[in-house]
Structure 1
Amino acid sequence: MIMRILGEGQYEIAEQHLTRLNQLDSALQSAADAGDETEFASALSALLDAVRSLGTPLPDERITPSDLVLPDEDTTLRQVRELLSDDGLIPGR
């Protein structure tokens, strides 16, 4: 799966890491549902850090469609709420 972090780049994520990323996505969804800005910022940071550490960065010159686009760390709770589906930022898992 190819994930893009807005303003940063793309990462190739192996199937074996999706369970962990979905756990972090669930924490983000819970924080957003609760309207907890502090917990939301922490959960978003944890999700993006996991994508960076578990994924393999794709070279900028490689043009590949992203399967999923994640907001950057400066994205507000209100903005992310507009992006969230019932499944969180990582749908269908």
Structure 2
Amino acid sequence: MIVRIMGEGQVRLDDSHLTELNKLDDELLVEVESGDGPGFRRTLHSLLDKVRELGTPLPDDALEPSELILPSPDATLEQVRELLHEEGLIPG
């Protein structure tokens, strides 16, 4: 799976990591819905850090279609709220 972090680039991530990422995504969804700013910020950074840790960066000149697009680390709670759907940022 190709994942884009807005403003950073793309990483290749094995589908086997989705369960682990979905746990953080579920936490993020709850924090966004409740308006928990500090919790949202902490969990967003944890989610992005985990994607970076588990993924393999693609070269800057690679133009692969992204199957998943995540917000930038400095995205606001309101911006992430607009990106969310019923399942959060990560489907599944």
TM-score (norm 2): 0.97
Measured against aligned partners, the alpha-carbon deviations of 1:42-78 in whole angstroms (never above 9, x if no partner) come to 0100000000000010011111010011110110001
Paired positions, count: 92
Which stretches in structure 2 are left out of the alignment for 5+ residues? Answer: none
Q: How does 1:28-47 map to 2 (within 5 A)?
A: 28-47=28-47
Which stretches in structure 1 are left out of the alignment for 5+ residues? Answer: none
Identity across the alignment (%): 54
Cα RMSD after superposing both structures = 0.6
SS at match of 1:11: strand
What is the Cα deviation at residue 79 of structure 1?
0.8
Report the counterpart of residue 73 of structure 2 in structure 1: 73
In the alignment, structure 1 residue 20 sits paired with structure 2 residue 20 = yes
Aligned partner letter, 1:15: D
TM-score (norm 1): 0.96
Write the distance in 2 (CA, Å) between the matches of 1:23 and 1:67. 19
